[in-house]
Amino acid sequence: MTTTTVPRGGGFKGAVAFEWTKLRSVRATWWNLAMGLLLTVGFAAMVGSSAAASAAKGVDVTMPAPHHASQAFLISQLTVVVLATLALTGEYSSGSIRTTLQSVPVRGRMLLSKTLVVAAAVVVAGFVFSVLGSLVAAPLMGAPGDYSAGQLFGTALGAGLYLALLAVMCVGLGAVLRSAAGTITTLILVLLAVPQLLGVIGSSWLESFADFMPGEAGAVLMTGADDPYGAPVALLVLVLWGLASFAAGLTALRRRDA
Amino acid sequence: MITLDGLTKRYGGKTAVSDLSFEIRPGKVTGFLGPNGAGKSTTMRMIVGLDAPTAGRALVAGKRYAELRHPMREVGALLDARAGHPGRSARHHLLGLARSNGIPASRVAEVLEIVGLGEVARKRIGSFSLGMGQRLGIAGALLGDPKVLLFDEPVNGLDPDGVRWVRELMRSLAAEGRTIFVSSHLMSEMQDTADHLLVIGRGRIIADAPIEDVIAGSSLTAVRVRTPEPGTLGRALERAGMSVEASSGELIVVGGTMEQIGDLAFEQRVRVHELSMRKASLEQAYMELTAASVEYGSPNRRA
CB B272 within 8 A of CB B262: yes
Handedness of CA A228, A233, A234, A237 (dihedral sign): negative
**Chain B: nearest CA to A253, how far in angstroms?**
11
Asked whether residue A6 carries a pLDDT value surpassing 70, the answer given is no
Chain B interface residues (partner A, CB cutoff 8 A): 45, 48-52, 65-66, 68-72, 75, 77, 79-80, 82-89, 92-93, 95-106, 140
What is the average per-residue pLDDT within A167-194?
96
Each residue of A103-116: pLDDT tens digit? 999 999 999 999 99
Mean pLDDT of B57-64: 94
Q: Which pLDDT value is given to residue A1?
A: 43
| Length of chain B as a residue count | 303
Q: State the average pLDDT over residues B36-54.
A: 92
How far, in Å, CA of B27 to CA of B178, rounded?
Answer: 5
Please write the tens of the pLDDT for every residue from A203-258.
Answer: 888 888 889 999 999 999 999 888 889 999 999 999 999 999 999 999 999 999 98
pLDDT at residue B101 is higher than 50: yes
Of the pLDDT bands very low, low, confident and very high (cuts 50, 70, 90), residue B78 is very high
State pLDDT tens for residues B214-270: 888 787 888 999 999 898 999 999 999 998 988 877 899 988 888 999 999 999 999
Query: In this complex, do B50 and A102 lie within 8 Å of one another by their Cβ atoms?
Result: yes
Say yes or no to pLDDT of B301 above 50.
no
Give residues with Cβ within 8 angstroms of A130, minimum separation 6. A40, A66, A69, A70, A73, A155, A156, A158, A159, A160, A222
Closest CA in chain B for residue A2: B105
Whole-angstrom distance, CA of residue B57 vs CA of residue B194: 25
Q: Is A103 within 8 Å of B101 when comparing Cβ atoms? A: yes
HEC-encoded secondary structure of B162-211: HHHHHHHHHHHHHHCCCEEEEECCCHHHHHHHCCEEEEEECCEEEEEEEH
> What pLDDT, on the 0 to 100 scale, is given for residue B296?
56
Q: Is A27 helix (H, G, I), strand (E, B) or coil?
A: helix
DSSP chain B: -EEEEEEEEEETTEEEEEEEEEEE-TTEEEEEE--TTSSHHHHHHHHTTSS--SEEEEEETTB-GGG-SSHHHHEEEE--S--S-TTSBHHHHHHHHHHHTT--THHHHHHHHHTT-GGGTTSBGGG--HHHHHHHHHHHHHTT--SEEEEESTTTT--HHHHHHHHHHHHHHHHTT-EEEEE-S-HHHHHHH-SEEEEEETTEEEEEEEHHHHHHTSTT-EEEEE-S-HHHHHHHHHHTT-EEEEETTEEEEESS-HHHHHHHHHHTT---SEEEEEPPPHHHHHHHHHGGG-SS--TT---
Interface-testing mutation among A91, A92, A99, with chain B (most B C-beta atoms within 10 A): A99
For residues A25-29, average pLDDT: 94
Q: What is the DSSP letter of A143?
A: G
pLDDT in tens, A86-109: 999 999 999 999 999 999 999 999
Q: Which residues of B touch A258 (CB under 8 A)?
A: 45, 50-51
pLDDT for B263? 93
pLDDT digits (tens, 9 = 90+) for B178-229: 999 999 877 888 888 999 999 998 888 888 999 888 888 787 888 999 999 8
Q: Which residues of A touch B95 (CB under 8 A)?
A: 21, 25
**CB B92 to CB A90 under 8 A?**
no
Highest mean predicted confidence (pLDDT) among B230-239, B282-291, B293-302: B230-239
Q: What is the mean pLDDT of residues B157-173?
A: 93
Nearest to B102 among A10, A19, A22 (CB): A10
B105·A4 Cβ contact <8 A: yes
Name the residue facing A103 among B79, B86, B97 (closest C-beta).
B97
What is residue A202's predicted lDDT score, i.e. its pLDDT?
A: 76
Strand order of the sheet with strand B55-60? B14-24, B2-11, B55-60
In angstroms, the separation between the Cα of residue A212 and the nearest Cα of chain B is 37
Q: What was the pLDDT predicted at B216?
A: 81
- A5 pLDDT higher than 70: no
Torsion of CA A53, A64, A149, A237, to 10 degrees: -130
Inter-chain CB pairs, A–B, below 8 Å: 111
- The rounded mean pLDDT for chain A is 93
C-beta separation of B214 from B285 below 8 A: yes
User: Which residues on chain B are in Cβ contact (under 8 Å) with A102?
Assistant: 48-50, 71-72, 75, 77, 79
The answer to whether the peptide bond before residue A195 is cis (omega within 30 degrees of 0) is no
- Please give the pLDDT value at position B172: 96
A104 contacts in B (CB within 8 Å)? Answer: 100
ipTM above 0.85, yes or no: yes
Distance CA B227, CA B252 (A): 11
pLDDT band at A10 (very low <50, low <70, confident <90, very high): confident
Q: Mutate which of A12, A24, A25, A100 to disrupt the B interface (most B C-beta within 10 Å)?
A: A25
**Are A18 and B97 inside 8 Å of each other by CB?**
yes
Contact A157, A123 (CB under 8 A): no
Of A3, A14, A22, the CB nearest to B101: A14
| CA nearest to B69 within chain A | A11
Q: How confident is the model at residue B297 (pLDDT cuts 50, 70, 90)?
A: low
pLDDT above 90: residue B38:
no
Show Cβ contacts of residue A31 under 8 Å, excluding neighbours closer than 6 positions: none
How close, in Å, is residue A74 to chain B by CA atoms?
Answer: 29
User: How far does the CA of residue B103 sit from the closest CA of chain A (Å)?
Assistant: 7
Give chain A's largest Cα–Cα span: 69
When scoring B68, B69, B99, B150 by the number of chain A Cβ atoms within 10 A, the one with the most, hence best to mutate, is B99
Which residue of A lies nearest to B96 if distances are taken between CA atoms? A18
